[in-house]
Structure 1
Amino acid sequence: MTTPDLPERLNISRSSTADAAAAEPSPNGTTFYSTDEPESGQKRQGRGEDHAMLATKQQKTYHDGDKTLPTTPTTPAPALTPSPTPVLASRSTTLSPSTTAKYFQSDFTVVNRKPFELEMPDWSANTKAWAFLQSQNPKYPNVYLVKKELNGQERTGYLLGRQPDSDIRFEQSEISKRHCLIYMETGSNGKAKGIRIFLEDLSFNGTWVNGTLVGVKNRVMLRNRDEIQLFRRSSYAENDLRQKFYRVLFPPIYEAHICDHEYEIRRLLGRGNFASVHHAIHRGTGAVAAIKVLNKNRFAQKPRMIQAIIQEVGIMMSLRKHPLVVNIDRVFNEQHKIYLVLEYVPGGELFDYVSTNKTIDEDSTRFIFWQLFMAIKYLHDNNIAHRDLKPENVLLADREKLHIKITDFGLAKTEHRDQSFGSQCGTPNYVAPEILNAPDSRGYDKQCDLWSLGVMLYICLCGFPPFSEENAPPSMKAQIKMGKYTFPSPYWDNISELAKNLIRSLLTVDPIERLNVREALLHEWMHQNREDLKARQNRLGEAVLADILQSEQTVDVTPTQVLMTQSQSLERF
């Protein structure tokens, strides 16, 4: 295969002015930075070229029809009125008249302080930043949003909330643990390359952009200078500092590529109804990736499919990188296709491993399920249900060590408060009985994942599924709803009673009586032959084990949180 020339780097030098304006977005919200003309014959720009001319070339805006996900709204334009000049309030008894701005709070006295000044971004010193969250309140730090390294542990997007591992952490009770997510997609409309920055609302308390409620489970495309609020109160004035949070600013120049310019897409790894997955190599670094390719024409008239893709991207972007979960690196949303750049896992599917070996011994199975339970616990602790667990969606990172990773979040969904799921989805052999109920009584939650794990445990130990049309009558659907299965001889003769007991506890029809993931980890079978399990865990390596254990910690301070903790502005409202 012939490797095309690398694209011209149009932003080798960035503007040094701190208040340079970002490129104007197109009507659909995309901010374009570079033209999409053939690049193979172009000469690489030198450092001595006219930077002003270069910036002008990059900031050209294209308003032609740009095919994007049609269900994604853009935010209303921010008001052009100047922001008030807030003052950091502190407890004080000093009162003196002055022309200095004064600020009132119900539990604070009036103080005279130097007015709070908005900090302008220094793009020349932060060349990898794709946005800047400009604090509108002295309580909160300014934050550059940058592309994070895939080999790090950070999530790809930026999570705002009270959760200990949030990228930007708050203390106010009005703000949810997982309040909202901000992330970036790179893309092209066939004429120019640019970026789209999205905010997804994860909170029932609400997130507002330019004073308009986004709404839980919805996302909006942000525009330069949009204002973000994490709560609003009708009793507060519009410019009240207590409900001021961030304004998002875009860089004047940003190096945006299309997928083909960054990656050489090679062999096919797998294919589904709407997507294919390919082995790919990064042209610059040689790093290996798995790229999921979705053809927009296949689902253009399928709004549910479009929403599922938005949901999949949002969930993966919101998760910190975990050694037992396939991680996402970035998204290219282009004119005809969407490319999800995922972590490459070389060992193939657990399904193929079971098929080749017919069965897996109890010690090896125990280790695999310790990892599966830990991974699902991580998802469930973040209120995410996978909803399509099966051996095909478990990949082997190392076939010798049996290091596994869960993949395919196409049906995954976030569980909000006490709300239940209602859609009928999953793979027939692995679907939980509550999902098969009639629509008027079909309410279920993340406990459906534990049923699927029970089916998988059964298959790993004996090599065939507990529920099948081959066992009819009754039908497979009836078998699942009744919880009707057996442990036939001779296949189960040498399997321990404790293993069978764990399967029975997972394949319990009533989800309330079914083991949850914490209880599954504590089951007696999971603690048999502990020396073997410990040895297998150690073979994963210290770094992997440390990352697994870190995800279990309730306090996980990120660099951004350290800044906020050290700041004097962390006094509560």
Structure 2
Amino acid sequence: MPEKPILGKYELGKLLGCGAFAKVYHAREISNGRSVAIKVINKSNISNKDGLPNDRIEREVCIMRQLQHPYIVRLYEVLATKTKIYFVMEYVKGGELFNQISSKGRFTEDLSRKCFQQLISAVNYCHSRGIYHRDLKPENVLIDENGDLKVSDFGLSATTDQIQSFDGLLHTVCGSPAYVAPEVLTIKGYDGAKTDIWSCGIMLFVMIAGYFPFYDQNLMLMYKKIYKGEFRFPKWISPDVKRILSRLLDVNPATRITVEEIIRDPWFRKGLKFIKFSEEEENTKINSLTNCLNAFDIISFSQGLDISGLFKSNNPVDDLERIVVEESPESVIERIEEVGKKENFRMKKKKEWGIEMKVQNGKLTMSLSLDVYRLTEQLVVVEIQNSDGDDGLYKDVWRNKLKPVILSKRGAELHISDS
């Protein structure tokens, strides 16, 4: 416990929990008295030769700063000293879902359904952004003072850029044994979304039954049960719950129920008044924060304060440029689309304010990614990066065709050179 406040901003309180590389404390923000949770990581614990813990922590930060959802723990900011890294996060008063289940023995069907609805809402939100948790379990889900869920611990999460191009699957074996999907145990690879659904099914079973569907003191025997899908329902589970659990715990990922099918299920939809699933509903509920920048985002944009430096990582970002313009995101995207159509670029819109673009000039090809982030009501940050291809062609397209248009409010009227 440090005697002085952390960088003059936070006073640490009681220890909430310990992990392999970090300790989590309850803390108070000095300026306003707000309660927060702070994960404290000693840099010496993540400075090993293979760099795996380093990569895991940096990935967790990058993922969590993208997530703004009522059922996901918020990351407020990241601070660092010479010896420690501090993750300042939302404080969730009720503790782990695991402890709630343990104290009650098991949940009622209605309470289990409410928790499951919120869990699926959070998982669906992550999947829509190409993020797969891969370690969903009651220990990684918190309960707030209102009884609502907050998914946490994205340290084992994967993103779409980790999917192997040759088969479109993930291959890292990870997760907690009792919650791991059978396909993860093979060497063939797996779909991150399908494995998260399996883990959600295990959690629903545990909430309603009060015990694991697959369990054995011998780990290999437990894995055999998981692989074969061998489990029994308790007598008190209703036929509707049995039906959806059978689909959730389908050992064949190809026929396992999807999020879309879960949301349409009659049992699942009972009492579904305050859970939002569509992109439009989520954006309304969280005030369209997904592509707005907080202080942590702005800090991470500065190469002098690149978050990779917090982890002693030296991976400079190549072919990446950001500019700030006084314009709306919609106007920037509209003008870029006009240029793309005029130049016959192949374009694909992203879910938020962004465009993926492919350009060909003779034998030269290039792909670039453009994203627009709202900085203030009047200002936006435009980020463009060479995703793949010829560097010279990328610089020509960016500097001579796109950048002049972005920097001019009369961009659509500019002459675009054919060079």
TM-score by length of 2: 0.65
Q: Distance in 2 between matches of 1:445 and 1:413?
A: 8
Q: CA 1:561/1:468 → structure 2, altered by over 3 Å: closer, same or farther?
A: farther
Q: CA 1:294/1:503 → structure 2, altered by over 3 Å: closer, same or farther?
A: same
Q: CA 1:571/1:421 → structure 2, altered by over 3 Å: closer, same or farther?
A: closer
Contact 1:366 1:533 in 2 (8 A): no
Q: How does 1:460-479 map to 2 (within 5 A)?
A: 460-470=207-217, 475-479=221-225
Match of 1:311 in 2: 59
Q: RCO higher in 1 or 2 (8 Å CA, sep ≥ 6)?
A: 1
Establish whether residue 279 from structure 1 lines up as the match of residue 45 from structure 2.
Answer: no
Residue 522 of structure 1 deviates from its aligned partner by: 1.5
Equivalent residue for 1:503, pick from 239, 245, 249: 245
Match of 1:523 in 2: 265
Q: Distance in 2 between matches of 1:556 and 1:504?
A: 36
Residue 473 of structure 1 deviates from its aligned partner by: 10
Match of 2:342 in 1: none
Structure 1 counterpart SS, 2:113: helix
Q: CA 1:473/1:346 → structure 2, altered by over 3 Å: closer, same or farther?
A: closer
Match of 1:486 in 2: 232
Q: Distance in 2 between matches of 1:396 and 1:548?
A: 26
Q: Distance in 1 between matches of 2:176 and 2:2?
A: 40
Q: CA 1:290/1:347 → structure 2, altered by over 3 Å: closer, same or farther?
A: same
Equivalent residue for 2:180, pick from 419, 431, 438: 431
Amino acid across the alignment from 2:27: A
* Structure 1: stretches of 5+ with no match in the other structure: 7-258, 539-543
Contact 1:384 1:415 in 2 (8 A): yes
Residue 286 of structure 1 deviates from its aligned partner by: 1.2
Residue 281 of structure 1 deviates from its aligned partner by: 0.8
User: Per-residue displacement from partner, 1:7-40 (whole Å, max 9, x unpaired)?
Assistant: xxxxxxxxxxxxxxxxxxxxxxxxxxxxxxxxxx
Residue 288 of structure 1 deviates from its aligned partner by: 1.2
Q: Distance in 2 between matches of 1:466 and 1:338?
A: 39
Contact 1:276 1:292 in 2 (8 A): yes
Residue 454 of structure 1 deviates from its aligned partner by: 0.7
Amino acid across the alignment from 2:55: Q
Q: CA 1:474/1:345 → structure 2, altered by over 3 Å: closer, same or farther?
A: closer
Match of 1:221 in 2: none
Contact 2:24 2:38 in 1 (8 A): yes
Residue 318 of structure 1 deviates from its aligned partner by: 2.1
Amino acid across the alignment from 1:486: R
Amino acid across the alignment from 2:120: F
Amino acid across the alignment from 1:459: V
Match of 1:80 in 2: none
Residue 266 of structure 1 deviates from its aligned partner by: 1.2
Residue 444 of structure 1 deviates from its aligned partner by: 3.5
Amino acid across the alignment from 2:53: M
Amino acid across the alignment from 2:263: L
User: Per-residue displacement from partner, 1:81-107 (whole Å, max 9, x unpaired)?
Assistant: xxxxxxxxxxxxxxxxxxxxxxxxxxx
Contact 1:322 1:547 in 2 (8 A): no
Q: CA 1:338/1:442 → structure 2, altered by over 3 Å: closer, same or farther?
A: same
User: Per-residue displacement from partner, 1:299-325 (whole Å, max 9, x unpaired)?
Assistant: 211411111111101111122x21110
Establish whether residue 565 from structure 1 lines up as the match of residue 313 from structure 2.
Answer: no
Amino acid across the alignment from 1:268: L
Match of 2:301 in 1: none
Q: CA 1:547/1:572 → structure 2, altered by over 3 Å: closer, same or farther?
A: closer
Q: Distance in 1 between matches of 2:186 and 2:278?
A: 41
Establish whether residue 342 from structure 1 lines up as the match of residue 89 from structure 2.
Answer: yes
Match of 2:391 in 1: none
Structure 2 counterpart SS, 1:572: helix
Q: Distance in 2 between matches of 1:571 and 1:463?
A: 54
Q: How does 1:154-193 map to 2 (within 5 A)?
A: none
Q: Distance in 2 between matches of 1:509 and 1:383?
A: 23
Match of 1:413 in 2: 158
Q: Relative to total residues, which structure has the larger helix share, 1 or 2?
A: 2
User: Per-residue displacement from partner, 1:241-267 (whole Å, max 9, x unpaired)?
Assistant: xxxxxxxxxxxxxxxxxx342111111
Structure 2 counterpart SS, 1:447: helix
Residue 571 of structure 1 deviates from its aligned partner by: 5.9
Residue 566 of structure 1 deviates from its aligned partner by: 4.9
Q: Distance in 2 between matches of 1:477 and 1:261?
A: 49
Residue 3 of structure 1 deviates from its aligned partner by: 7.3
Q: CA 1:377/1:2 → structure 2, altered by over 3 Å: closer, same or farther?
A: closer
Residue 562 of structure 1 deviates from its aligned partner by: 7.1
Q: CA 1:341/1:473 → structure 2, altered by over 3 Å: closer, same or farther?
A: closer
Equivalent residue for 1:263, pick from 10, 24, 41: 10
Q: Distance in 1 between matches of 2:117 and 2:159?
A: 23
Amino acid across the alignment from 1:306: N
Q: CA 1:331/1:461 → structure 2, altered by over 3 Å: closer, same or farther?
A: same
Match of 2:128 in 1: 381
* Structure 2: stretches of 5+ with no match in the other structure: 293-324, 340-419
Q: Distance in 1 between matches of 2:204 and 2:326?
A: 40
Structure 1 counterpart SS, 2:192: coil
Structure 1 counterpart SS, 2:8: helix
Establish whether residue 550 from structure 1 lines up as the match of residue 312 from structure 2.
Answer: no
Establish whether residue 358 from structure 1 lines up as the match of residue 105 from structure 2.
Answer: yes
TM-score by length of 1: 0.48
Amino acid across the alignment from 2:202: V
